[in-house]
Amino acid sequence: MVVTKVSKEISLTEYPYGMPTENNFKLVQVHIPEPTKEGEFLVRNIWMSVDPYMRGRMREGSNSYIPPFKLGQPLEGACVGQIITSNNNQFAVGEYILGMLGWREYWLSNGSDVIKVNPNIAPIQSFLGTFGMTGLTAYVGLLKIGELKEGDTVFVSAASGAVGSVACQIAKTKGCHVIGSAGSEEKVKWLVDQAGIDNAFNYKEVNDISEHLRKICPDKIDIYFDNVGGKHLEAALDNMKTFGRIVLCGMISQYNSSSPLPGPSNLMLAITNRLKLQGFIVRDHYNMLNEFHAAMAKWIGQGNIKWKETVSEGIENAPKAFLGLFKGENFGKMLVKIGPDPAL
Protein backbone atom coordinates (compact mmCIF):
# COMPACT_ATOMS: atom_id res chain seq x y z
CA MET A 1 0.00 0.00 0.00
CA VAL A 2 1.46 3.32 -1.06
CA VAL A 3 0.75 6.24 1.25
CA THR A 4 0.22 9.59 -0.44
CA LYS A 5 -1.44 11.80 2.15
CA VAL A 6 -3.80 11.83 5.11
CA SER A 7 -7.58 11.48 5.02
CA LYS A 8 -10.25 11.83 7.71
CA GLU A 9 -13.04 9.42 8.58
CA ILE A 10 -15.58 8.97 11.37
CA SER A 11 -16.21 5.87 13.45
CA LEU A 12 -18.53 4.93 16.30
CA THR A 13 -16.83 4.66 19.69
CA GLU A 14 -19.75 3.02 21.54
CA TYR A 15 -23.35 2.10 20.90
CA PRO A 16 -25.56 4.91 22.23
CA TYR A 17 -28.34 4.32 24.71
CA GLY A 18 -31.22 6.64 23.93
CA MET A 19 -30.39 9.82 22.05
CA PRO A 20 -26.83 9.70 20.63
CA THR A 21 -24.36 12.48 21.37
CA GLU A 22 -21.28 13.72 19.58
CA ASN A 23 -19.23 11.80 22.14
CA ASN A 24 -20.38 8.56 20.49
CA PHE A 25 -18.39 9.48 17.38
CA LYS A 26 -14.66 9.82 16.76
CA LEU A 27 -12.84 11.66 13.97
CA VAL A 28 -9.66 9.84 12.99
CA GLN A 29 -6.90 10.38 10.46
CA VAL A 30 -5.83 7.58 8.15
CA HIS A 31 -3.50 7.23 5.20
CA ILE A 32 -4.96 7.28 1.71
CA PRO A 33 -4.04 4.12 -0.24
CA GLU A 34 -3.33 4.20 -3.94
CA PRO A 35 -5.17 1.81 -6.24
CA THR A 36 -2.42 -0.75 -6.86
CA LYS A 37 -4.56 -3.65 -8.12
CA GLU A 38 -5.92 -3.94 -11.63
CA GLY A 39 -9.52 -2.68 -11.68
CA GLU A 40 -9.21 -0.49 -8.60
CA PHE A 41 -9.79 3.26 -8.49
CA LEU A 42 -9.62 5.94 -5.82
CA VAL A 43 -12.64 8.10 -5.01
CA ARG A 44 -12.66 11.49 -3.33
CA ASN A 45 -15.99 12.01 -1.61
CA ILE A 46 -17.77 15.29 -2.28
CA TRP A 47 -21.20 14.80 -0.72
CA MET A 48 -22.54 12.36 1.86
CA SER A 49 -26.00 11.70 3.21
CA VAL A 50 -27.04 11.33 6.83
CA ASP A 51 -30.32 9.48 7.31
CA PRO A 52 -32.55 8.44 10.23
CA TYR A 53 -32.22 4.73 9.39
CA MET A 54 -28.57 4.92 10.48
CA ARG A 55 -29.75 5.12 14.08
CA GLY A 56 -30.91 1.51 13.79
CA ARG A 57 -27.37 0.49 12.89
CA MET A 58 -26.09 1.98 16.14
CA ARG A 59 -27.59 -0.76 18.30
CA GLU A 60 -25.49 -3.70 19.40
CA GLY A 61 -26.99 -6.99 18.31
CA SER A 62 -29.68 -5.22 16.28
CA ASN A 63 -31.98 -7.57 14.39
CA SER A 64 -32.83 -4.88 11.86
CA TYR A 65 -32.81 -5.41 8.10
CA ILE A 66 -29.19 -4.19 7.95
CA PRO A 67 -26.33 -5.16 10.31
CA PRO A 68 -25.13 -2.75 13.01
CA PHE A 69 -22.07 -0.58 12.49
CA LYS A 70 -18.84 -2.03 13.87
CA LEU A 71 -17.22 -0.08 16.68
CA GLY A 72 -13.93 1.51 15.70
CA GLN A 73 -14.63 1.08 11.99
CA PRO A 74 -15.64 3.92 9.66
CA LEU A 75 -19.39 4.36 9.38
CA GLU A 76 -21.15 3.79 6.08
CA GLY A 77 -23.76 5.68 4.13
CA ALA A 78 -24.65 6.99 0.71
CA CYS A 79 -22.14 9.32 -0.90
CA VAL A 80 -21.23 10.90 -4.22
CA GLY A 81 -17.61 11.34 -5.16
CA GLN A 82 -15.22 11.79 -8.05
CA ILE A 83 -12.64 9.34 -9.35
CA ILE A 84 -9.15 10.82 -9.02
CA THR A 85 -6.94 7.82 -9.87
CA SER A 86 -7.99 4.71 -11.79
CA ASN A 87 -6.69 1.31 -12.90
CA ASN A 88 -10.11 0.43 -14.33
CA ASN A 89 -10.85 1.14 -17.99
CA GLN A 90 -14.60 1.22 -17.21
CA PHE A 91 -14.22 4.06 -14.70
CA ALA A 92 -12.29 7.09 -15.87
CA VAL A 93 -10.61 9.80 -13.85
CA GLY A 94 -13.03 12.71 -13.40
CA GLU A 95 -16.22 10.61 -13.49
CA TYR A 96 -18.72 10.91 -10.64
CA ILE A 97 -19.98 7.84 -8.82
CA LEU A 98 -22.55 6.98 -6.17
CA GLY A 99 -21.55 4.56 -3.43
CA MET A 100 -22.20 3.59 0.17
CA LEU A 101 -18.87 4.48 1.77
CA GLY A 102 -19.64 7.88 3.19
CA TRP A 103 -18.30 9.15 6.53
CA ARG A 104 -14.79 9.29 5.02
CA GLU A 105 -12.94 11.53 2.59
CA TYR A 106 -11.37 8.90 0.31
CA TRP A 107 -11.98 5.26 -0.52
CA LEU A 108 -11.08 2.51 -2.97
CA SER A 109 -13.48 0.61 -5.23
CA ASN A 110 -13.30 -1.99 -7.98
CA GLY A 111 -16.55 -0.79 -9.53
CA SER A 112 -18.78 -3.56 -8.19
CA ASP A 113 -20.27 -1.40 -5.44
CA VAL A 114 -20.94 1.87 -7.28
CA ILE A 115 -23.02 3.39 -10.06
CA LYS A 116 -22.09 6.32 -12.27
CA VAL A 117 -23.74 9.71 -11.80
CA ASN A 118 -24.37 12.08 -14.70
CA PRO A 119 -23.95 15.71 -13.57
CA ASN A 120 -25.77 16.88 -16.70
CA ILE A 121 -29.06 15.34 -15.53
CA ALA A 122 -29.23 16.96 -12.10
CA PRO A 123 -26.88 18.38 -9.43
CA ILE A 124 -24.77 15.49 -8.19
CA GLN A 125 -25.98 15.84 -4.58
CA SER A 126 -29.57 15.30 -5.77
CA PHE A 127 -28.62 11.66 -6.42
CA LEU A 128 -28.53 11.38 -2.62
CA GLY A 129 -31.94 13.00 -2.32
CA THR A 130 -34.77 13.71 -4.73
CA PHE A 131 -33.19 11.85 -7.65
CA GLY A 132 -31.81 9.04 -5.47
CA MET A 133 -32.96 6.64 -2.76
CA THR A 134 -34.88 9.40 -0.97
CA GLY A 135 -37.03 10.05 -4.01
CA LEU A 136 -37.35 6.34 -4.79
CA THR A 137 -38.60 5.75 -1.25
CA ALA A 138 -41.38 8.29 -1.72
CA TYR A 139 -42.19 6.89 -5.17
CA VAL A 140 -42.37 3.25 -4.06
CA GLY A 141 -44.25 4.10 -0.88
CA LEU A 142 -46.99 6.02 -2.63
CA LEU A 143 -47.40 4.18 -5.92
CA LYS A 144 -46.69 0.58 -4.98
CA ILE A 145 -47.36 0.26 -1.25
CA GLY A 146 -50.02 2.97 -1.02
CA GLU A 147 -51.62 2.20 -4.41
CA LEU A 148 -52.10 5.91 -5.04
CA LYS A 149 -55.04 6.94 -7.22
CA GLU A 150 -56.03 10.27 -8.69
CA GLY A 151 -58.38 12.10 -6.33
CA ASP A 152 -57.06 10.44 -3.17
CA THR A 153 -56.69 12.49 0.00
CA VAL A 154 -53.12 11.98 1.21
CA PHE A 155 -51.71 12.93 4.60
CA VAL A 156 -47.90 13.02 4.97
CA SER A 157 -46.11 13.44 8.29
CA ALA A 158 -42.66 15.07 8.42
CA ALA A 159 -43.81 16.58 5.14
CA SER A 160 -40.91 19.01 4.83
CA GLY A 161 -38.33 16.28 5.35
CA ALA A 162 -36.32 14.57 2.64
CA VAL A 163 -38.80 11.77 1.85
CA GLY A 164 -41.94 13.58 2.96
CA SER A 165 -41.45 16.60 0.71
CA VAL A 166 -41.01 14.40 -2.35
CA ALA A 167 -44.03 12.26 -1.38
CA CYS A 168 -46.18 15.38 -1.09
CA GLN A 169 -45.23 16.59 -4.55
CA ILE A 170 -45.60 13.22 -6.25
CA ALA A 171 -49.11 12.99 -4.81
CA LYS A 172 -49.95 16.49 -6.10
CA THR A 173 -48.53 15.63 -9.51
CA LYS A 174 -50.83 12.59 -9.55
CA GLY A 175 -53.91 14.73 -8.90
CA CYS A 176 -54.40 14.15 -5.18
CA HIS A 177 -55.50 16.38 -2.30
CA VAL A 178 -52.45 16.61 -0.04
CA ILE A 179 -52.09 17.58 3.62
CA GLY A 180 -48.77 17.70 5.45
CA SER A 181 -47.48 18.23 8.97
CA ALA A 182 -44.19 19.92 9.79
CA GLY A 183 -42.41 21.39 12.80
CA SER A 184 -42.18 25.12 12.04
CA GLU A 185 -44.12 27.92 10.37
CA GLU A 186 -41.30 28.35 7.84
CA LYS A 187 -41.65 24.73 6.77
CA VAL A 188 -45.44 24.98 6.63
CA LYS A 189 -45.20 28.06 4.41
CA TRP A 190 -42.79 26.34 2.01
CA LEU A 191 -45.03 23.30 1.73
CA VAL A 192 -47.97 25.42 0.63
CA ASP A 193 -46.24 28.18 -1.34
CA GLN A 194 -43.45 26.20 -3.01
CA ALA A 195 -44.34 22.51 -2.89
CA GLY A 196 -47.94 23.42 -3.71
CA ILE A 197 -49.79 21.15 -1.31
CA ASP A 198 -53.35 21.95 -0.29
CA ASN A 199 -52.95 22.27 3.47
CA ALA A 200 -50.09 22.14 5.97
CA PHE A 201 -49.94 22.63 9.71
CA ASN A 202 -47.34 22.99 12.45
CA TYR A 203 -47.95 19.99 14.68
CA LYS A 204 -46.15 21.74 17.56
CA GLU A 205 -48.89 24.37 17.60
CA VAL A 206 -51.79 21.90 17.46
CA ASN A 207 -53.19 20.61 20.75
CA ASP A 208 -54.85 17.55 19.23
CA ILE A 209 -53.60 16.29 15.86
CA SER A 210 -56.55 13.95 15.46
CA GLU A 211 -59.07 16.73 15.98
CA HIS A 212 -57.17 19.02 13.63
CA LEU A 213 -57.19 16.37 10.91
CA ARG A 214 -60.92 15.91 11.44
CA LYS A 215 -61.44 19.62 10.72
CA ILE A 216 -59.25 19.88 7.62
CA CYS A 217 -60.15 16.41 6.23
CA PRO A 218 -63.91 16.17 6.81
CA ASP A 219 -64.15 13.43 4.17
CA LYS A 220 -61.29 11.55 5.83
CA ILE A 221 -57.97 10.22 4.49
CA ASP A 222 -57.28 7.64 1.79
CA ILE A 223 -53.51 7.34 2.32
CA TYR A 224 -51.39 8.18 5.32
CA PHE A 225 -47.65 8.26 4.52
CA ASP A 226 -46.06 7.77 7.94
CA ASN A 227 -42.57 9.05 8.66
CA VAL A 228 -43.12 9.71 12.37
CA GLY A 229 -45.23 7.09 14.17
CA GLY A 230 -46.48 7.84 17.69
CA LYS A 231 -49.22 10.45 18.00
CA HIS A 232 -49.24 11.09 14.27
CA LEU A 233 -50.06 7.45 13.56
CA GLU A 234 -52.82 7.41 16.18
CA ALA A 235 -54.30 10.60 14.73
CA ALA A 236 -54.26 9.17 11.23
CA LEU A 237 -55.94 5.95 12.37
CA ASP A 238 -58.76 8.07 13.81
CA ASN A 239 -59.33 9.71 10.44
CA MET A 240 -58.88 7.02 7.80
CA LYS A 241 -61.53 6.13 5.25
CA THR A 242 -62.79 2.58 5.05
CA PHE A 243 -60.23 0.54 3.08
CA GLY A 244 -57.65 3.32 3.58
CA ARG A 245 -53.95 2.58 3.21
CA ILE A 246 -51.22 3.45 5.71
CA VAL A 247 -47.69 3.44 4.32
CA LEU A 248 -45.20 2.78 7.13
CA CYS A 249 -42.02 4.40 5.89
CA GLY A 250 -40.39 5.52 9.14
CA MET A 251 -41.05 6.23 12.80
CA ILE A 252 -38.50 8.85 13.74
CA SER A 253 -40.34 9.63 16.99
CA GLN A 254 -39.20 6.22 18.31
CA TYR A 255 -35.68 5.74 16.94
CA ASN A 256 -33.95 6.96 20.09
CA SER A 257 -36.23 5.30 22.63
CA SER A 258 -34.32 3.47 25.34
CA SER A 259 -37.16 0.97 25.78
CA PRO A 260 -40.07 -0.19 23.60
CA LEU A 261 -42.95 2.28 23.39
CA PRO A 262 -46.60 1.20 23.50
CA GLY A 263 -48.33 0.77 20.18
CA PRO A 264 -51.24 2.89 18.97
CA SER A 265 -54.10 2.73 21.46
CA ASN A 266 -56.62 2.74 18.61
CA LEU A 267 -55.15 0.02 16.40
CA MET A 268 -58.54 -1.75 16.55
CA LEU A 269 -59.66 0.79 13.94
CA ALA A 270 -57.48 -1.01 11.41
CA ILE A 271 -59.90 -3.92 11.68
CA THR A 272 -63.20 -2.05 11.81
CA ASN A 273 -62.21 0.21 8.90
CA ARG A 274 -60.52 -2.63 6.97
CA LEU A 275 -57.30 -0.67 6.66
CA LYS A 276 -54.09 -1.77 5.00
CA LEU A 277 -50.94 -1.03 7.02
CA GLN A 278 -47.71 -2.02 5.32
CA GLY A 279 -44.09 -1.29 6.06
CA PHE A 280 -41.44 -1.40 3.36
CA ILE A 281 -37.70 -1.14 2.78
CA VAL A 282 -36.68 0.66 -0.40
CA ARG A 283 -33.83 -1.77 -1.17
CA ASP A 284 -36.49 -4.43 -1.89
CA HIS A 285 -37.74 -2.35 -4.80
CA TYR A 286 -34.64 -1.46 -6.79
CA ASN A 287 -36.34 -3.03 -9.81
CA MET A 288 -38.39 0.20 -9.97
CA LEU A 289 -35.31 2.44 -10.20
CA ASN A 290 -35.37 2.98 -13.98
CA GLU A 291 -39.10 3.67 -13.92
CA PHE A 292 -38.60 6.12 -11.08
CA HIS A 293 -35.72 7.94 -12.78
CA ALA A 294 -37.75 8.40 -15.96
CA ALA A 295 -40.75 9.75 -14.04
CA MET A 296 -38.68 12.02 -11.79
CA ALA A 297 -36.69 13.47 -14.70
CA LYS A 298 -39.98 14.34 -16.40
CA TRP A 299 -41.51 15.92 -13.28
CA ILE A 300 -38.38 17.95 -12.52
CA GLY A 301 -38.27 19.13 -16.14
CA GLN A 302 -41.90 20.23 -15.87
CA GLY A 303 -41.20 22.14 -12.67
CA ASN A 304 -43.45 19.86 -10.60
CA ILE A 305 -40.81 18.83 -8.07
CA LYS A 306 -38.86 21.24 -5.88
CA TRP A 307 -36.55 20.41 -3.02
CA LYS A 308 -34.72 21.89 -0.09
CA GLU A 309 -31.33 20.93 1.28
CA THR A 310 -29.72 21.50 4.66
CA VAL A 311 -25.94 21.40 4.18
CA SER A 312 -23.17 21.04 6.76
CA GLU A 313 -19.62 21.76 5.63
CA GLY A 314 -16.79 19.37 6.43
CA ILE A 315 -16.72 15.73 7.47
CA GLU A 316 -15.98 16.76 11.07
CA ASN A 317 -19.54 18.16 11.23
CA ALA A 318 -21.21 14.95 10.04
CA PRO A 319 -22.14 13.74 13.58
CA LYS A 320 -23.77 17.09 14.37
CA ALA A 321 -25.70 16.94 11.09
CA PHE A 322 -26.86 13.41 11.87
CA LEU A 323 -28.04 14.36 15.36
CA GLY A 324 -29.88 17.33 13.86
CA LEU A 325 -32.24 14.93 12.10
CA PHE A 326 -33.78 14.01 15.46
CA LYS A 327 -34.14 17.63 16.52
CA GLY A 328 -35.99 18.74 13.39
CA GLU A 329 -33.05 20.86 12.23
CA ASN A 330 -33.19 19.61 8.65
CA PHE A 331 -35.32 21.31 6.02
CA GLY A 332 -35.51 18.79 3.22
CA LYS A 333 -32.49 16.55 2.70
CA MET A 334 -29.69 16.68 5.27
CA LEU A 335 -26.31 16.58 3.51
CA VAL A 336 -22.67 16.95 4.42
CA LYS A 337 -20.38 18.56 1.87
CA ILE A 338 -17.06 16.83 2.38
CA GLY A 339 -15.02 18.55 -0.32
CA PRO A 340 -15.15 20.92 -3.30
CA ASP A 341 -17.64 20.10 -6.04
CA PRO A 342 -16.16 20.61 -9.53
CA ALA A 343 -19.63 20.12 -11.04
CA LEU A 344 -20.87 23.40 -9.57
State the average pLDDT over residues 209-226.
98
Q: Looking at the predicted structure, is the pLDDT value of residue 3 above 50?
A: no
On whether the 133-285+293-300 domain is CATH 3.40.50.1100, my answer is no
State the average pLDDT over residues 228-244.
97
According to the model, what pLDDT value does residue 255 have?
A: 79
**Alpha-carbon distance values, 206 to 56, 59, 187, 215, 221 (Å):** 29, 33, 15, 12, 19
According to the model, what pLDDT value does residue 1 have?
A: 38
Q: Where in the chain is the domain with CATH 3.90.180.10?
A: 3-129+308-337
Q: What are the tens digits of pLDDT across the range 248-278?
A: 999 988 878 767 777 799 999 999 999 999 9
Q: Where in the chain is the domain with CATH 3.40.50.720?
A: 133-285+293-300
Nearest 5°: the CA angle 64, 68, 72 is 175
Please give the backbone phi and psi of residue 250, each rounded to the nearest 5 degrees, phi first: -160, 165
Q: Looking at the predicted structure, is the pLDDT value of residue 192 above 50?
A: yes
According to the model, what pLDDT value does residue 257 have?
A: 75
Between these two residues, 343 and 8, which has the higher pLDDT value?
8
pLDDT band (50, 70, 90) for residue 184:
very high
The pTM is what?
0.92
CATH number of 3-129+308-337: 3.90.180.10
Element (H, E) at 238: helix 230-238
Sign of the dihedral defined by the CA atoms of residues 77, 82, 87, 92, in that order: positive
State the average pLDDT over residues 170-176.
98
Q: Looking at the predicted structure, is the pLDDT value of residue 238 above 50?
A: yes
CA separation for the pair 69, 101 (Å, rounded):
12
3-state secondary structure at position 310: strand
Sign of the dihedral defined by the CA atoms of residues 21, 26, 27, 32, in that order: negative
